[in-house]
Amino acid sequence: MDKKALVVEGGAMRGIFAAGVLDSFMQQEYNPFQFAIGASAGASNLLGYLAKQPKRSYQIITELGTSADFYNPARFVKGGHLTDVKWLSETSLQKYPLHLDTLLNNIPLYATTTDIETGVANYFKVTKDNLLNVIEATTALPVAYRGTPCFSGSCFTDGAVADSIPVKEAYRRGARDITVILSHPLSYSMPESNSHWLMKRLLSDKPQVADALKTRANRYNQALEFIRFPPKDAKVRVIAPPEDFPVKRLSRKPAVLEAGYQMGVDAGAEHLANLSGIKRYTPEECSACYE
């Protein structure tokens, strides 16, 4: 039987949109999927969804994600982390404990990481034993996070470096009905990097990661092409922010984050209404209903 999968893009604070979409899904108890894959903040958002904890991701992003303990330019200038993802994941578990039994007895969750020796994506199934390591690794932004998570015989960096939107991996794993939650409007395409020389210098000890960053835009745009023109035996459903989505990668203003979250809640509700036939939207009326 063909599988249904849920794929969630990362995007740092832009993940507030996916948090809203997934809260809408939880409100309507919508989970027809056989597995889920997330990259970076997308994997973090999926923890709350699969643990059935509405607003958990929202609280983490708006309360902890805006803290100076997480994002601190002054600390970075002095040689520390710009974004301390280990602090974020550990503090999230302390302040907003996961319903682990619910999470682990739900559908499988795979988190994308990037192997620093190869620059290639590695997809870990999240378990009780590896959860902290995997979430640290999938969100470990190169340069911004100075740590290098190592486990399972390798060391890793942010999963979005190698595979920002793991829709092809979902297809490879047998999914033929794939729902993708993006962090950018549908019109977005990633521009080619013009700072490879700088990344090569800053990541001189991780040359494969620097090379993967150089070609990241190409892989990202190929994933978008797959979404827009999937294979004939597959259906891809897309939920994307509207064109006026105000949240940037490092946005911290409460009003901006609140607006982005509400856009996600509305998009999730519109998507489910469209699926159920309660209301039919045109692509102009509902970009989240685009298929």
pLDDT, one tens digit for every residue, the chain (291 residues): 679 999 999 999 999 999 999 999 999 999 999 999 999 999 999 999 999 999 999 999 999 999 999 999 999 999 999 999 999 999 999 999 999 999 999 999 999 999 999 999 999 999 999 999 999 999 999 999 998 999 999 999 999 999 999 999 999 999 999 999 999 998 899 988 777 777 888 888 888 998 999 999 999 999 999 998 999 999 999 999 999 999 999 899 999 999 999 999 999 999 999 887 766 655 555 444 444
Return the axis-axis angle of helices 16-27 and 254-276, rounded to nearest 10°.
40
| Placement of tokens 């990541």 in the chain | 203
- Give me the pLDDT at residue 290, please: 46
Tens of pLDDT, residues 218-260: 999 999 999 989 999 999 999 999 999 999 998 999 999 999 9
Catalytic position from the list 23, 24, 40, 89: 40
Per the annotation, the verdict on 158 as an active-site residue is yes
- Cβ atoms of 152 and 104 within 8 Å: the answer is no
Residue type, 244: D
Could you please state the CATH topology (level 3) that the domain comprising 3-276 is classified under: Cytosolic phospholipase A2 catalytic domain (3.40.1090)
Closest to 6 measured CA to CA, from 20, 22, 17: 22
The Cα–Cα gap between 66 and 291 comes to 34
Per the annotation, the verdict on 44 as an active-site residue is no
Catalytic position from the list 23, 84, 115, 158: 158
Rg of the chain (C-alpha set) = 18
β-pairing, 3-8 vs 35-39, is parallel
The Cα–Cα gap between 160 and 202 comes to 18
Handedness of CA 254, 256, 262, 268 (dihedral sign): negative
| Placement of tokens 């809260």 in the chain | 23
- Give me the pLDDT at residue 200, please: 81
| Placement of tokens 């894959």 in the chain | 37
- Cβ atoms of 281 and 274 within 8 Å: the answer is yes
Residue type, 168: K
129 SS3 class: coil
**Domain boundaries in the chain?**
3-276
Phi/psi for 176 (5° steps) reads: -125, 0
Q: What is residue 68's DSSP assignment?
A: T
In our burial notation (b when 16+ CB lie closer than 10 A, e otherwise), range 3-12 reads bbbbbbbbbb
- Give me the pLDDT at residue 49, please: 98
